[in-house]
């Protein structure tokens, strides 16, 4: 039997789209659920979002906003949320159905900020970016690379690796299902909205303002 994996990323402390994604995953009978980071940031429902991910048995990695949360609360009393983020791994490496999968928030090996941007503002592939990342991933010995961070939605073969970004549940209104070993990939819309393939343009400005 194939293994079906539910993929989400960049929930940014907004609970409703995460709850909907988990409901869709249950209906699709996924076997595992992964989150590519940035659980924190922008929204004001961090505790509710965390509870959903924990109850949904979702395996998550650290995003830059999660790391910033830990850093910004370092001089405050320990909380369940900070402990949760402090214990998250920076990457996830697994072999499922004979396929090697690597998940990192922005780009390998362990970048939180250098995201893989392949799309223009209308969601079209930028050939020069695809070529650049194909060259950079030459020799990357994984069948699947799952990333987040850029708030773009794509599944593109770069060099010998299928690179997937399921998009932000908050900003792209999307989650995804990956089936292994066949590498079938399906994007699912959330919040009764059309999937926004590329939301990174506005996000970059927000992030720049927030950290300066």
Asked if residue 116 has pLDDT above 60, the reply is yes
- List strands edge to edge, sheet with 174-180: 58-60, 32-35, 3-8, 174-180, 184-189
Confidence (pTM): 0.93
Q: What is the pLDDT of residues 93-112, one digit of tens each?
A: 999 999 999 999 999 999 99
What is the helix (H) or strand (E) element at residue 183, kind and residue range?
none
Question: Does position 126 have pLDDT exceeding 70, yes or no?
Answer: yes
Nearest to residue 105, comparing CAs of 135, 64, 142? Answer: 64
pLDDT per residue over 27-69, tens digit each?
A: 999 999 999 999 999 999 999 999 999 999 999 999 999 999 9
Q: What is the pLDDT of residues 61-88, one digit of tens each?
A: 999 999 999 999 988 899 999 999 999 9
Rounded Cα–Cα distance for residues 108 and 115 (Å): 9
* CATH superfamily of the domain spanning 3-210: Metallo-dependent phosphatases (3.60.21.10)
Residues above pLDDT 70, as percent of the chain: 94
Instruction: Tell me the per-residue pLDDT of 196-207, one tens digit each, with 9 for 90 and over.
Output: 999 965 544 433
């Amino acid at each position: 039997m194939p293994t079906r994996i539910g993929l989400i990323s960049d929930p940014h402390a907004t609970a409703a789209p995460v709850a909907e994604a988990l409901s869709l995953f249950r209906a699709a009978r996924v076997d595992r659920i992964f989150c590519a980071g940035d659980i924190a940031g922008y929204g004001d429902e961090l505790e509710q979002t965390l509870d959903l991910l924990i109850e949904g048995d979702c395996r998550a990695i650290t995003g830059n906003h999660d790391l910033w949360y830990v850093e910004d609360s370092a001089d405050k009393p320990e909380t369940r949320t900070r402990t949760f983020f402090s214990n998250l791994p920076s990457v996830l490496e697994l072999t499922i159905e004979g396929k090697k999968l690597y998940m990192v928030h922005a780009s390998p090996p362990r970048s939180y900020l250098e995201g893989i941007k392949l799309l223009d503002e209308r969601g079209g592939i930028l050939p020069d970016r695809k070529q650049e990342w194909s060259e950079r991933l030459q020799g990357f010995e994984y069948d699947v690379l799952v990333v987040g961070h850029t708030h773009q939605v794509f599944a593109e073969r770069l060099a010998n690796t299928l690179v997937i970004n399921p998009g932000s549940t908050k900003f792209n209104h999307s989650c995804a299902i990956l089936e292994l070993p066949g590498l079938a990939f399906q994007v699912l819309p959330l919040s009764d909205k059309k999937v926004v393939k590329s939301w990174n343009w506005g996000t970059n400005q927000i992030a720049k303002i927030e950290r300066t």
